[in-house]
Structure 1
Amino acid sequence: MLFSSNEDYNLALSKFESMLKTNNVFFFDSAEFEEITHHYLDAGKVALAKKAIKIGLEQHPSSVNLKLMEIELMVFENKLDEAEKLLDGLYNLEPSNAEIYIQKANIYSKRDEHYKAIELLKMALEFSDDLADVNSLIGMEYLFIDDFKEAKRYFMKCMELDIDDYSSLYNIIYCFEFLEDIDGAINYLNEYIDQNPYSEVAWHQLGKQYYTKKMYPEALAAFDFAIIADDHFIGAYLEKGKVLEKLGEYNEAIHNYEITLQLDDPTSFAYLRMGKCYEKLGNNELAVKFYYKTVHEDPLLDKGWTAITDYYIRQENYQKALYYINKAINIDTENVFYWKRSAEIHRMLQLYEEADIAYQKTVELGNYELSTWIAWADILKLLGEYNNSTHVLLQALEFYPDNAKIEYRLAGIYFILGEQSKGTFHLKNALRNNFKEHFMFQKLFPSVMMRASVKNIISEFQKPST
């Protein structure tokens, strides 16, 4: 039996804790032990939950529910073999107990044997009174094996059983998104809203799908309905603000972001978007003010630091941009975006040695964009470090084979180094892949371009005029 009132619940809990403190033995029925155990598990007090189960089984050694709770804890602690043995014993006693199948499935899932887990959970459906919960577990197992179609199908079964199961609704939309079926998500949400027109969660999700498809008027309407359903729904105001920005309604967007500040503690996201809006409106003073607020609210938000840095870059105030990107790097030395900005700013300030260090760090942190390799190699060329420049370009060529921008640079540097055969090889590759870009080669290597041998190579690829 469940506790008939909070008073009974508190009395049993106090009585149990008193027993632990005094070593006196009090009797509880098995249902009371179950409730006490649930209380401790919900509170994260696993040790006390174990004590409740141990004492409970001493008083009620045949209680299958208490044994199942003991098994659940074993599975949680990865004592899988021990738990499986106990489950096999319980199965012989109660072969129609759905929880036995669920816990066995949990063991298989922990062992990454998800197909076996699914098979057992489908068997549990035959005996369970909570079909929504079991269908949800099956859906999760399908997610583990990346079978998003089947996962979606089972989460939809959960929604048929419980229209307010928002956890399953989120999982359904996640599956649609992963399958890149945005239209399917929109259709499903519209059908759901027909049955549950005041669901702020569904309207919010529908707005996000419309936003993805750049259907901004439809997205705006959906977020408005979410707000009508719940005028304290901060997420809907934030998303509505983003849509208004796309529509160029910057003052209205700011108004929606301001509402979120009134409803709850300020967020760095709202401050950042307000700063962007004020900058679009040409109000640089307020833009900077909100960028400052962004990094003050969340110093770890890289978008905040890059926003204030990029603002000063656009203003061509590179010293201030450098000041803020250095502050950002001091907070997070492993942020690749910060190092790339640092390299670009140093390059603009003609601090080439510092730019070289920053580009090296950018690549070390995993930024392999073509623009990064090219900029780094050009910096090394400016420093006269031709061998290092070719080393960087050859690395880049591994990521971007036959890329003309890389090939022309390799050709020019090899000619400068007096390695004629290598220069000729890369120049011909470059001309073959993109003849038009030889004008860029002329700009980068004017002295090399003056050589008769180089002119002859280029003329070989020159198409005769008609």
Structure 2
Amino acid sequence: MEFSLPDDNNNLSLTRFESMLKTNNVLFFDSNEFENIIYHYLENGKISLAKKAIKLGLEQHPTSTNLRLFKTEILIIENKLEDADKLLENLHDLEPMNEEIYIQKANVLSKRDDHESAVQTLLIALDLAEVDEGIADLYALIGMEYLFLDQFENAQHYFKKCLEIDNEDYSALYNVIYCYDFLNDNQEAIVFLNDYLNGNPYCEVAWHQLGCQYVIVEDFDKALVAFDFAIISDDTFVGAYLEKGKVLEKKKRYNEAIDNYKITLALDDPTSFALLRIGKCHEKLGNDDLAVQNYYKTVHEDPLLDKGWIAITKFYNKKKNFQKALFYINKAINIDGDNVVYWKLYAQINHRLNFIEEAERGYKKALDLGNYELSTWLARADILIALGEYEASILNLIQTAEFYPETAEIEFRLAGLHFTLHESSKGHYHLKNALLLNTDYQYILEELFPNILKKPSVQQQILNAGKTEN
């Protein structure tokens, strides 16, 4: 459905309609006016007003196909698919050659995740459509249905058809590149974009996308050239400056990267990403004061950005200022207590400060939140050993073994723990497993269980294992 009344007429219709809603007077509008009013409300997300316009429109023009099609659109939005189906069947009986009916049928099928049928229905609409009217929209709809089906080559074919009709259809351009990315055809994407730019040399979007493709294939010099052309095409293109800054970082040209990030701050509201990257660059350059200033600005700008809190915590961690590191990670946890990285850092910092019980709490919380790295399990086990919680440590290690079976680091710890609890048979069993898996981890006994290592039976078992190995 195409809507192209002059703006003055459109505004007058809208003003009259909204005036009518405020009074008890019922004014007459022709069906085209109603269509434009409804289209305006749908485009602006004012669904309730669109519904009122459809209701009043159908009261005045009950046989209007377009108004009834708008009603099906609302039914689909509200997920009333059965009602939409019935209305579309009635409309199809009246106008079997109307492509808009097939488009709405395809919307219903898509909502039901029947994307194959949606494609077939849209292809019928394509056959019925007039040569130049709405063809690009249909190509885009078919492309999207193929995306839902993960048929990226088919999707790409139709998005390219959109570009043949309108080479400034940037939504289609992005989707073509999206398909190349999923197909891992980055070199093909580069060829495509270069061909596209031959006909559209000042398209900043294409230059930006070309730069991103060169980054993926790690051709950073060409990426920089592409981002420069994007900036030449539009010197207010924030995305190009950001991407150029990231590439300059990769090339260790930190001062130039900072300059590009600063341009984005001047062009638009400050972004936490740009502030964070400026901080990282200053840290690499050894400008500690400037680094930490930008980290402060980052967390002030966006307190929910975990990378900002992590950066400032790790900064103080590296400087061995553990008290400040702990202060900032506590602030981060107060904002987001379910962030697993925060809890792991919290545990590590407390461990370094010898706040053993708090460290154990941190590791446990990290595990509860799904951080199942071996290092996390083992760190908690060792802390429980230090606290004298031997049985809790054994339970922790048994859980660890479910994720990391046949791991010498686990077996040596279990051996030491069972010997400590005077469970000699279990101790020898786990020691045997440990020695079979990897004798290099014997130092675990020396570090965590020095008294156990002195036991004659343990010494003998280790000696026998060495002879067997030789």
Q: Where do residues 77-92 of structure 1 align in structure 2 (5 Å cutoff)? A: 77-92=78-93
CA distance in 2 between counterparts of 1:404 and 1:206 reads 49
Matching residue within 421, 445, 449 for 2:449? 445
CA distance in 2 between counterparts of 1:145 and 1:433 reads 46
Matching residue within 356, 360, 385 for 1:356? 360
CA distance in 1 between counterparts of 2:134 and 2:467 reads 76
Aligned to 1:252: 256
Matching residue within 208, 215, 221 for 2:212? 208
Tell me whether 1:153 sits opposite 2:146 in the alignment: no
Q: Mark the CA change 1:212 to 1:409 in structure 2 (over 3 Å): closer, same or farther.
A: farther
Aligned to 2:317: 313
Aligned to 1:173: 177
Letter in 2 for 1:197: P
TM-score (norm 2): 0.94
Tell me whether 1:413 sits opposite 2:414 in the alignment: no
Report the Cα offset of residue 172 of structure 1: 2.5
CA distance in 2 between counterparts of 1:307 and 1:411 reads 39
Q: Mark the CA change 1:236 to 1:357 in structure 2 (over 3 Å): closer, same or farther.
A: same
Deviates more, 1:344-353 or 1:1-10: 1-10
CA distance in 2 between counterparts of 1:14 and 1:440 reads 81
Which aligned segments of 4 or more residues in structure 1 are displaced greater than 4 angstroms? 1-4, 463-466
- Unpaired runs of at least 5, structure 1: none
CA distance in 2 between counterparts of 1:396 and 1:29 reads 73
Report the Cα offset of residue 422 of structure 1: 2.6
Deviates more, 1:267-276 or 1:3-12: 3-12
Deviates more, 1:314-323 or 1:113-122: 113-122
Q: Mark the CA change 1:57 to 1:197 in structure 2 (over 3 Å): closer, same or farther.
A: same
Q: Where do residues 82-231 of structure 1 align in structure 2 (5 Å cutoff)? A: 82-128=83-129, 129-231=133-235
Maintained 8 Å contact 1:3/1:32: no
Maintained 8 Å contact 2:397/2:410: yes
Report the Cα offset of residue 149 of structure 1: 3.4
Report the Cα offset of residue 32 of structure 1: 0.9
Aligned to 1:52: 53
CA distance in 2 between counterparts of 1:211 and 1:396 reads 39
Report the Cα offset of residue 2 of structure 1: 5.2
Maintained 8 Å contact 2:254/2:281: yes
Instruction: Say which SS state the counterpart of residue 22 (structure 2) adopts.
Output: helix
Maintained 8 Å contact 2:413/2:444: no
Aligned to 1:295: 299
The superposition leaves residues 39-81 of structure 1 with CA deviations (integer Å, 9 ceiling, x where unpaired) of 1222322222112112212222221111100100011011111
Matching residue within 215, 224, 239 for 2:243? 239
Maintained 8 Å contact 1:2/1:32: no
CA distance in 2 between counterparts of 1:446 and 1:301 reads 44
Q: Mark the CA change 1:212 to 1:410 in structure 2 (over 3 Å): closer, same or farther.
A: farther
Q: Mark the CA change 1:215 to 1:445 in structure 2 (over 3 Å): closer, same or farther.
A: farther
Maintained 8 Å contact 2:202/2:233: yes
CA distance in 2 between counterparts of 1:17 and 1:4 reads 18
Aligned to 2:331: 327
Aligned to 1:71: 72
Matching residue within 367, 373, 376 for 1:372? 376
Maintained 8 Å contact 1:276/1:287: yes
Report the Cα offset of residue 3 of structure 1: 5.7
Q: Mark the CA change 1:179 to 1:437 in structure 2 (over 3 Å): closer, same or farther.
A: farther
Q: Mark the CA change 1:465 to 1:356 in structure 2 (over 3 Å): closer, same or farther.
A: closer
Aligned to 1:393: 397
- Please give the root-mean-square deviation of Cα atoms over the aligned residues, in Å: 1.9
Q: Mark the CA change 1:171 to 1:420 in structure 2 (over 3 Å): closer, same or farther.
A: farther
Q: Mark the CA change 1:463 to 1:146 in structure 2 (over 3 Å): closer, same or farther.
A: farther
CA distance in 2 between counterparts of 1:303 and 1:390 reads 34
Deviates more, 1:390-399 or 1:452-461: 452-461
TM-score (norm 1): 0.95
Deviates more, 1:376-385 or 1:428-437: 428-437
Equivalent residue pairs, number: 466
Aligned to 1:454: 458
Instruction: Say which SS state the counterpart of residue 462 (structure 1) adopts.
Output: helix
The superposition leaves residues 159-198 of structure 1 with CA deviations (integer Å, 9 ceiling, x where unpaired) of 3332222212222222332333333333332332233222
Maintained 8 Å contact 1:408/1:438: yes
Q: Mark the CA change 1:2 to 1:154 in structure 2 (over 3 Å): closer, same or farther.
A: closer
Tell me whether 1:282 sits opposite 2:283 in the alignment: no
Q: Mark the CA change 1:404 to 1:173 in structure 2 (over 3 Å): closer, same or farther.
A: farther
CA distance in 1 between counterparts of 2:451 and 2:186 reads 55
CA distance in 1 between counterparts of 2:444 and 2:362 reads 25
CA distance in 1 between counterparts of 2:183 and 2:395 reads 41
Report the Cα offset of residue 410 of structure 1: 1.9
